[in-house]
């Protein structure tokens, strides 16, 4: 199935969890995840299954004002 990760389309297996996608994109900690603009705490990354067309955001610390 197709999901959008940080605005880039990715093909992932049906039933993929957030952890599976994080592994696929080689996400570097620390990061936080949102699915379809909803925050998903890390305690749920292993169990949260993505669906076709889901938009996943993986964000990390940067400088800020």
Contact set with other proteins (CB under 8 A):
6-7, 25, 27-28, 30-34, 37-39, 41-42, 57-65
CB of 51 to other proteins, least distance (A): 18
Minimum CB distance to other proteins smaller for 23 or for 34: 34
CB of 17 to other proteins, least distance (A): 17
Is residue 64 helix, strand or coil?
A: coil
Side-chain-facing half-sphere of 38: CA atoms under 13 Å:
8
CB of 36 to other proteins, least distance (A): 10
Structure tokens at 50: 């993505």
């Amino acid at each position: 199935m197709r999901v959008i990760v940080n605005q880039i389309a990715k093909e992932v297996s049906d039933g993929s969890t957030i952890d599976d996608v994080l592994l696929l994109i080689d996400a570097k900690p620390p990061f936080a995840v949102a699915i379809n603009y909803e925050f998903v705490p890390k305690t749920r990354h292993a169990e949260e299954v993505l669906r076709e067309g889901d938009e996943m955001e993986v964000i990390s610390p940067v400088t800020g004002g």
